[in-house]
Amino acid sequence: MASEMPVMGNKYVSAIPMGMLTSYAAQAVRNHGQTLDRLASRGGMCTSEILAVMDGLKWGAVKNCDANDLLLFSRVTDHVRQLASS
Residue ranges covered by each domain of the chain: 4-85
Phi first, then psi, for residue 32 (nearest 5°) are -125, -10
Report the distance separating Cα 83 and Cα 58, nearest Å.
29
Which strands, in side-by-side order, build the sheet including 15-17? 15-17, 4-8, 45-46
Residue 61 Rama label (left phi>0; alpha psi -120 to 50; beta):
alpha
pLDDT of residue 2: 86
Q: Of the candidates 74, 70, 17, which has an alpha carbon nearest to the alpha carbon of residue 44?
A: 17
pLDDT tens string, the chain, 86 residues long: the values are 789 999 999 999 999 999 999 999 999 999 999 999 999 999 999 999 999 999 999 999 999 999 999 999 999 999 999 999 98
